[in-house]
Each structure stands twice: as C-alpha cells, then as structure tokens.
C-alpha cells in the first residue's frame, strides 16, 4: 500500500481556539475546585504523560523503518492528542474567572455555584448545581451556567416561579430551595 494512503497528517487535528459554548465576549466562570482539576490535568500531561510518550516515540524511531512501526505511529498520534489537550487547557485556564460560590452561603438568591431544587409544571422535581462549562457533568446533575435552565434560574430566589423557553413551549419552574457550599469545607 502506498504511503499516500497510510500517512496521517496534522491537518484538521486542532481543536477550535475556544469551543462555541462560551458566549462571545463572555467569561469562563469556574469554581476553585474546577480550576484546580483543570490545572492538575494540565500539569500531569506536561510533567508525566507527555515525557513518557516522547520516550516511547524516541525508542520506536530508533528501531528503523517508521512507516510500519506501530509504536512510532501510535506514539506520534498520541503526542498530537496530548499537545492539543495541553493547548486547550492552557487557553481555558488563561481566560478562567474563578468564582467562589461559598461567598453566597445563606443566600436564597441563585448565583453561579448554587445547588437549586425546583419543580416543573408537570410536578417533576429536580436538583441541579450551576457550574462552569468546563466542569459541569449532566450525569451528576450539574449544569453549565450558560444552559437554558441555568439562565432561567439565575438571579431568582426561593419561592419564585420562572419561565423556561423550550422547543415544546414555555415551562414554568418553581424554585423550592437554594444552597451554596459551606465556606469552611468548600462543599454543598
């Protein structure tokens, strides 16, 4: 098989500078814990994983023919993935605005970092925590501060009813409770 059909290129490998999830001119809000996780991942990639892969690629390159050397080809591909992730994390951390939600402890108004329990107009009760786009995990009932639900909830208070525009029409959400992390422990 010709090398033309097997050679991998770097074209199109780069992630966009910033994903479209942050509104233009918007801030990249993140909790101190989320910032620490992203920074730890970045340092781990730079200090541990990348040097290991570089060593493997160097060793594989010294074995001769690189065109059929799986360790070399996989190593180069993995190195590109690591470098892409390093660039992404570096850019995200540069624009991150760390917000400590525990400063609102005791408040009944919804701000970034709040854990909110609400009931919709069909009687379904949900509890969500409003976090940054880089740390929210829907599986853990965490939503991004730019999500439609979070935007509807932000600045409302316990007992308020807010409107949420959905493709199926307008829904009403009644806010049952608002909680923030404890300032001493950093958890909610």
Q: Are residues 124 and 161 in the same domain?
A: yes
What pLDDT is attached to residue 106?
84
DSSP state of 157: B
Same domain, 105 and 175: yes
Residue 10 lies in a domain: no
Same domain, 160 and 124: yes
Residue 40 lies in a domain: yes
- Phi/psi for 120 (5° steps) reads -90, 180
Gap between the Cα atoms of 136 and 35, Å rounded: 12
User: What are the mean pLDDT values of the chain's consecutive 10-residue runs (188 residues total)?
Assistant: 45 45 76 95 96 91 78 91 95 92 90 95 94 91 94 95 93 95 64
Domain identity same for 90 and 127? no
Per the CB < 8 A criterion, the answer to whether 132 and 31 are in contact is: yes
Domain contains 188:
no
Residues 127 and 159 both lie in one domain: yes
Task: Give dist(CA 137, CA 132) in Å, integer.
Answer: 10
For 161, which DSSP code?
A: E
**In a shared domain, residues 60 and 93:** yes
CATH of the domain at 137: 3.10.50.30
Task: Please indicate, yes or no, if residue 59 is contained in any of the structural domains.
Answer: yes
Which pLDDT score, from 0 to 100, does residue 4 have? Answer: 45
Domain assignment of residue 160, given as a range: 101-179
On whether both 119 and 83 belong to a single domain, the answer is no
Return the pLDDT at 23: 66
Residues 6+ apart with CB under 8 A from 188: 101, 115, 129, 179, 180, 181, 182
Tell me: do 89 and 111 sit in the same domain: no
The H-assigned helical ranges of 24-183 are: 32-44, 50-61, 70-95, 148-153
Element (H, E) at 5: helix 3-6
Q: Report pLDDT for 24.
A: 67
Alpha-carbon distance 25 to 35, whole Å? 20
Domain end point (choices 98, 123, 144): 98
58 belongs to a structural domain: yes
- Tell me what pLDDT residue 70 has: 82
Output the pLDDT for position 17. Answer: 45
Residue 13 included in any domain = no
Measuring CA to CA, how many Å separate 9 from each of 3, 21, 23, 107? 12, 27, 31, 53
Structural domain count, the chain: 2
Distance, CA of 35 to CA of 40 (rounded, Å): 8
Domain boundary among 64, 98, 132: 98
Tell me how far apart the alpha carbons of residues 162 and 33 are, in angstroms, rounded to a whole number. Answer: 29
pLDDT of residue 25: 67
How far is it, in rounded angstroms, from Cα 16 to Cα 179? Answer: 35
């Amino acid at each position: 098989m010709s090398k033309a059909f097997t050679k991998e290129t770097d074209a199109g490998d780069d992630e966009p500078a910033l994903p479209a999830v942050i509104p233009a001119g918007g801030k990249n809000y993140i909790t101190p814990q989320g910032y620490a996780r992203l920074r730890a991942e970045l340092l781990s990639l730079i200090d541990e994983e990348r040097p290991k892969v570089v060593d493997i690629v160097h060793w594989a390159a010294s074995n001769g023919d690189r065109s059929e050397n799986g360790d070399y080809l996989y190593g180069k591909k993995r190195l590109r993935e690591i470098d892409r992730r390093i660039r992404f994390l570096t850019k995200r951390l540069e624009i991150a605005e760390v917000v400590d939600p525990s400063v609102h402890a005791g408040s009944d108004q919804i701000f970034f970092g709040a854990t909110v329990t609400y009931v919709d107009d069909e009687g379904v009760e949900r509890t969500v925590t409003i976090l940054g786009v880089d740390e929210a995990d829907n599986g853990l009932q965490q939503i991004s501060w730019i999500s439609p639900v979070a935007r509807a909830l932000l600045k409302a208070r316990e007992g308020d009813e807010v409107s949420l525009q959905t493709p199926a029409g307008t829904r009403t959400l009644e806010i049952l409770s608002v909680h923030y992390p404890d300032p001493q422990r950093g958890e909610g």
